[in-house]
Amino acid sequence: MKSAIGTTESGLSAKERWGKVITKRGTLVGMILILLVLGIRSPQFFTISNLLEILKQGSILTMVALSQTIVLVAGGFDLSAGAVVHFVANLSAGMISGGQHFLVVLLLGILIGCIAGVINAALVNQLKIPPFVATLGVMFVLTGITLAYNQGKAIPLKGYPEFSYLGQGYVGPIPFIVIVVLAMLLAMHLYLKKTAAGLRMYAAGQNPQAAKLRGISPSKSLFVAFVIGGLILGLTGVFHASYNYGSSAVASGLDFLISALAAAFLGSTFSKTGELSVIGTTCAGMFIAALSNGLIINGVSNTAMSGILGSILVISVILSVLHKREIGQVTIF
């Protein structure tokens, strides 16, 4: 199989090579085409300020998707992601309006995220509950605590410039939150691809039995992944409250979670083998944000919005999956 591919690649005409690029990098080509169409239809889409705005709008989703990615890499699954973010967001909004310093809130948010990660990992590793059910239970519990905390009401924040800087501030022309996402991306990429621990995490996620025989502990990888993922979620919660000037009354965060999951999977179609990667996830998360931004600029109505978003999501994947001739199984469940 391998050698066959090698021989065909050597004798390619220019036309064939382009065909190869399109099928190999299909998702990326599809995304760029779609964004080009949106940009040509309304020129203000491709202005620098709008592009930076898109990156800012996509940051929260990308952060959740990054946390989901590392857990998926280690062979887990985190259904509680959205609930953790909303809980921390509500708590931060409440504490900030109660007069706490924003650094205290930031640290507490991260701490809560880590604790949620430890609990998830303990349920999966020690009690041997399947990740899906364990994180589902945690999701319910956190949703309830959030509702008990905010009594079903939104907590708006006005006039806290220091706290609002986190989500809405700029360093020169670049939004601060985008810098945070890029730093996070760099750190995670280096950890997952350049350190032994990160590569072991991939191994443990893909084949726990084989990894165990090689002396790698899958449960340790999962623990680390859940804690790192939780840390990111806690951070995201604080930024979420800051970005939205407060917290909404919504508590379950299921839509959030589904979009993040879609971003992670969309990102995995970038690679030929469907491997999850933080770079793919980030591109996909930002693409989803660009898409909603472009559709709004093009004047799509609110009711039609989600339908068009959904179909474009599917179309952008089709290019890259068509040549694989496989069925669309999902193995995480």
Residue 316's closest CA among 272, 276, 263, 256?
A: 263
CB of 15 to another protein, least distance (A): 24
Out of 125, 143, 247, 277, which residue is the one contacting another protein (CB under 8 A)?
143
Q: Which of residues 293-322 bind another protein (CB under 8 A)?
A: 302-311, 313-314, 317-318, 321-322
174 near another protein, judged by CB under 8 A:
no
Residues 6 or more apart whose Cβ sits within 8 Å of residue 44 = 50, 297
Residue 201's closest CA among 75, 33, 53?
A: 75
CB of 294 to another protein, least distance (A): 16
The amino acid that residue 13 corresponds to is S
CB of 175 to another protein, least distance (A): 27
Whole-angstrom distance, CA of residue 220 vs CA of residue 72: 14
254 near another protein, judged by CB under 8 A:
yes
Q: Which stretch binds another protein (CB under 8 A): 16-24, 95-103, 141-149, 162-170?
A: 141-149
The residue count for binding another protein (CB under 8 A) is 55
> Closest CB to another protein among 46 and 132?
132
Helical spans, DSSP H, in the chain: 2-10, 14-24, 26-41, 48-73, 81-97, 102-125, 131-150, 161-168, 176-194, 196-206, 208-213, 218-243, 254-268, 278-297, 302-321
Whole-angstrom distance, CA of residue 113 vs CA of residue 35: 35
Out of 16, 21, 104, 152, which residue is the one contacting another protein (CB under 8 A)?
152
CB of 315 to another protein, least distance (A): 8
> Closest CB to another protein among 156 and 310?
310
Count of C-beta atoms within a 10 Å radius of residue 103: 10
* 8 A C-beta contact, residue 67 and residue 78: yes
Q: Which stretch binds another protein (CB under 8 A): 17-25, 33-41, 96-104, 257-265?
A: 257-265
> Closest CB to another protein among 77 and 176?
77
Q: Element (H or E) spanning 11, and its range?
A: none
Residues that bind another protein (CB under 8 A): 123, 127-130, 132-134, 136-148, 152, 251, 254, 258, 261-262, 265-266, 269, 302-311, 313-314, 317-318, 321-322, 324-331, 333
